[in-house]
A and B are shown apart, each in its own frame.
Chain A
Amino acid sequence: MDIFLPVAGTSINAAVLVGAGVLVGFLSGLLGVGGGFLLTPLLIMLGIDPLVAAASGTNAIVGASASGTMAHLKARNVDLKMGTFMLVGGVAGGGAGTLLVRSLRRAGNADVVIVLCYVMLLAVMGVVLFVEGLASQVKGETEERGESWGYRLLQRLPFSTTFPVSGVKTSALAPVVLGVLVGVLAALLGVGGGFFLIPAMAYFLAMPMGLVVGTSLFQMLFTSAAVTIMQAAMNHSVDAFLAVGLLLGASVGAQGGARVARGLKGDQLKMVLALLLLALSVKMFDDLLVLPRHFLAAGGGP
């Protein structure tokens, strides 16, 4: 059965769409990462315009983070004050990112920039996952906690604020700036930003790990909701059909992925997937260099 995507302006096989969701959900359940960074490149490879792929990916993340946020709120795993500061930054960054997408689109190079960002992102993710897998192969988990160098650095910034739930005292600028970065990433690439936010919150904000996951989900939910609305208003690039189809698949896939992850040796698997990401990065980079079939292309208008 085919579905006509009203915003993407083309039809896609429903099984392919839901299947893509299942695959991304499965991998994200397996790896314990968000999966937004896999979603957008997969949609691009299915022939969806990079702008629509990124914006619809953000739309899907709203749904994907909803039930997790609810669960963490119920379990009181969210530092609402910290989350709100990050959210303010996230909305500002998302707005800036959406404007950036619009001006890139007018210049006609939004697709190249998005794909190039993905080339770098996938390469970095691949290397990080590979090293992680390798490190835990060699030795056991070594978790460093306490006051990091980054945390002490940020404390020197003005507007020192206490966050009682997390039990930290840091500059109010720190969570806002983190939020801005995530917002820009969300608008440009359609990612939730968990892969970057979670380590950054632990390192720079010195938040306890139990609160990091819940708080990042909380801010992700609202930032991606805000970015979805801004993308729809400014760039008309959100395809809700695409997002819902992916969500349906992803929620099934995530269950399977999490189950498989429990039964398998994670480290080797992580390394195999890392190599897969690196290969994907090389493939996308190569596509940028290949002589295009046409020297004319539909663009974002005059």
Chain B
Amino acid sequence: MAPVVLAVVLTPAAWGGGLPAAQGEGITLTVDKPEIRITSGFHGDFLRAAGTAPETCDVVLRLTSALAEETLDVKGKRGPFWLTVGKARFEGAPRVYMLRSTRPVEALLQPQEQARENLGIFGLQAALRVQGSEAPDLFASEFLRLKRDRGLYGWAGGGVTRGPEGTYQAEFTWPAHAPSGAYTLKAFAVKGGSVVATASVGILVRKAGLEAWISRLGERHGTLYGLLAVLIALAAGLAAGAVFGGSFRRKKKDAGA
């Protein structure tokens, strides 16, 4: 797919025919696909981002979904078993958060700066609010660890490579279980401990084709979906019975003859 330019250049860059792009403080950003379609064969994807930024700047790329409230079960030990003993609500966190950078964010920005720009672990912690817990800090770090282990959060950075004439590129691995919805990829040009320019691109992730139809039917018309699932299973079962049962009986007869 041809690259689609959706960059918002905050600081005007010196664009000129044949001249290297993005002189000055500006940053540009393009992605190789503005839309990721979840179809029956979907098993994750790759999203490639590229652009230009001044060679004197570091580049940080942040991919996030919209913020979502999440209620999670809190596990505790009751007798020998680990059971759900309560609920905790988490606000101010996206469902997906991934970071790519030329150098670790900790080396580029002070914690308060990370918190303000919502970058890195400090940025995540600053935005996250925990309800229903007496130990919000512990719960917040456990929440982040859970998300990271599920492959939905990554804040380690790295992975942005610089090319000639101020270009940069990076690749995001898109997990198959990342929820569908609107995502934002934002590029930050960082220099001297602060963000000097940003650009962002929207990415739409949606279920497509049969996949979309089935999950919509399942969510909105559960009874109809169940009926359909029963009919499909019946048809598959009867077909399999006809194919295998028939051939098997024939073979047995042949063997007996």
Interface residues of A (CB under 8 A from B): 1-4, 6-7, 9-11, 59-60, 62-68, 70-71, 107-109, 112, 116, 225, 228-234, 236, 238, 240-241, 243-244, 247-248, 251-252, 254-255, 288-289, 291-299, 301-302
Contacts and interface: CB of A to CB of B under 8 A. Distances in A.
B134 interface: no
Give chain B's interface secondary structure class. helix
Interface in B240-254: 240-245, 248
B81 A233 contact: no
Given A108-B73, A295-B142, A296-B75, A240 B229 contact: yes
A302 B71 contact: yes
B211 interface: yes
B6 interface: no
B232 to A, nearest CB: 6
A292 B82 contact: yes
A230 B237 contact: no
B130 to A, nearest CB: 10
Contacts of B145: 294
Interface in B207-257: 207, 211, 214-215, 218-219, 222-223, 225-230, 232-238, 240-245, 248
Given A240-B214, A240-B229, A2 B238 contact: no
A299 B71 contact: yes
A240 B217 CA distance: 12
B110 interface: no
Contacts of B146: 294, 296-297
B194 interface: no
Contacts of B87: 108, 299, 302
A296 B88 CA distance: 8
Contacts of B229: 59, 228-229, 232, 238, 240, 243
A295 to B, nearest CB: 5
B238 A66 contact: yes
A208 B2 CA distance: 71
Contact of B139 (A68, A234, A296, A301): A296
Contacts of A252: 244
A176 to B, nearest CB: 23
Contacts of A59: 229-230, 233
Given A232-B222, A232-B229, A233-B222, A63 B42 contact: no
A254 B245 CA distance: 10
Contacts, number: 180
A69 B240 CA distance: 14
Contact of A247 (B176, B207, B215, B233): B233
Contact of B76 (A241, A244, A295): A295
B84 interface: yes
Given A66-B238, A255-B248, A296-B73, A10 B233 contact: no
A7 B225 CA distance: 11
B82 A62 contact: no
Contacts of A10: 176-177
Given A240-B232, A296-B88, A4 B211 contact: yes
A250 to B, nearest CB: 8
B84 A1 contact: no
Given A6-B207, A62-B233, A296-B143, 5 more contacts: A9-B177, A62-B230, A67-B240, A70-B238, A233-B222
Interface centre among B38, B40, B44 (most CB of A within 10 A): B40
Contact of B42 (A11, A229, A232, A292): A11
B41 A234 contact: no
Contacts of B75: 292, 294-297
B144 to A, nearest CB: 10
24 contacts: A11-B43, A59-B230, A67-B241, A109-B84, A116-B81, A228-B226, A229-B226, A230-B226, A232-B222, A232-B223, A232-B226, A240-B233, A241-B214, A247-B233, A247-B237, A248-B236, A289-B80, A291-B82, A293-B149, A296-B73, A296-B142, A297-B72, A298-B73, A299-B73
